[in-house]
Amino acid sequence: MSSQVAEKSFVTTFVALISALVLLAAVLFMVGALVGVVGNVAPDDGSRKQVAAVERIKPVARVAIAVPQPAGAELKLSGQEVYNKVCMACHATGAAGAPKVGAKDQWEPRFAQGMDTLVKNAVNGIRGMPAKGGNPALSEVNIKDAVTYMLGETGIKTDTAN
Ligand code: HEC
């Protein structure tokens, strides 16, 4: 081996060694920085970071898919809600000759027909009373709840107390 070749090989080895040391230092520095960061943050910071991350990566837009209501599906409304939305228009004032809520004398002869008949007439409509109060989305249960509510407000007790 000539001295020139030996020198070259030494330089190569030296450069490789220095590179490895620099790399190691860099890795150690990064590990240290990481440990420092992890050690410095408050314990609850993770959740805040996570929230921030979730906020950053959340989809720009959402696609809302309306689930079609199967025909006759019950609207989740209480009797009072159905009354307020639909029945009140006529039954609060007695418009078109509707029996007025609170007028016991107007309701008692009707109630004498029986609850089932009242509900059936309200569902199918009778004279000035439109079928389901004009809202076909309502179910029979909605109608029954509303009739029960109206009777209750009038002071007539039904067996289905709700
Ligand atoms: C457009 C006005 C109107 C609306 C809205 C309305 N009703 Fe009526 N309703 C009437 C009229 C008018 C009568 C009286 C019909 C008759 O006997 O001539 C009546 C009668 C009734 C009767 C008595 C039926 C019978 O057999 O005597 C019930 C029960 C009733 N309505 C329930 C309801 C319910 C429940 C709602 C809401 C879902 C509702 N109504 C909405 C006008 C209305």
Over residues 49-97, the pLDDT tens digits come to: 777 777 888 777 777 666 665 555 567 899 999 999 999 999 999 998 9
What is the pLDDT confidence band of residue 139, given thresholds at 50, 70 and 90?
very high
Could you identify the atom of ligand 1 that is nearest to the CA of residue 118? 26
Q: Token match 């000539």: residue?
A: 2
> In this predicted structure, what is the pLDDT of residue 160?
56
Q: How far is the CA of 107 from the centre of ligand 1 (A)?
A: 11
Contact predicate 131/124, CB 8 Å: yes
Mutate to test the pocket of ligand 1, among 127, 129, 154 (most ligand atoms within 8 A of CB): 129
Tell me the two tokens of residue 47: 């959740």
Closest CA to 146 of 80, 74, 77: 80
> In this predicted structure, what is the pLDDT of residue 106?
97
Contact predicate 107/154, CB 8 Å: yes
pLDDT at 162 > cutoff 50: no
Q: What percent of the chain has pLDDT over 90?
A: 55
Name 50's Cβ contacts closer than 8 Å, sequence gap at least 6.
Answer: none
> In this predicted structure, what is the pLDDT of residue 116?
96
130 pocket-lining for ligand 1 (C-beta < 6 Å): yes
Contact predicate 75/138, CB 8 Å: yes
Any idea how long the chain is? 162
CA angle 119, 128, 100 (to 5 degrees): 70
